[in-house]
Amino acid sequence: DAGITQSPRYKITETGRQVTLMCHQTWSHSYMFWYRQDLGHGLRLIYYSAAADITDKGEVPDGYVVSRSKTENFPLTLESATRSQTSVYFCASSGGSYNEQFFGPGTRLTVL
């Protein structure tokens, strides 16, 4: 189906484990983004990518790694998960820097 998907939708892991959240879009959008949503903070930008092989840090990048080898995929990796990374993670894509961002359904991650 066309659109933007995230997997898994729910994930429980333990402190210190590596976790990868997947994001896939079918629109061939150039721009892709990762946000985290926490109570009292709204959404905050973790990383973004303007094109394949181009990524840059957002507001809260510490503890996260991204890659973008293909236009349609933008995985987010927590190299060593911490409890403070318990959050809902949203991936988004956009056809241009000033265009509307389309959001995936989110991944709820719990780090025990």
Residue reference for tokens 């987010």? 76
| Of the residues 1, 2, 28, 40, which one makes contact with another protein according to CB under 8 A | 40
| Of the residues 41, 51, 83, 112, which one makes contact with another protein according to CB under 8 A | 41
Q: Is 108 exposed, middle or buried (0-12, 13-18, 19+ CB in 10 A)?
A: middle
Show Cβ contacts of residue 81 under 8 Å, excluding neighbours closer than 6 positions: 13, 14, 15, 16, 17, 18, 19, 109, 111
| Of the residues 59, 79, 82, 112, which one makes contact with another protein according to CB under 8 A | 59
Judged by CB under 8 A, the number of residues near another protein is 24
The residues that touch another protein, with contacts defined as CB under 8 A, are 31, 33, 35, 40-45, 48, 50, 56, 58-59, 88, 90, 92, 97-98, 100-101, 103, 105-106
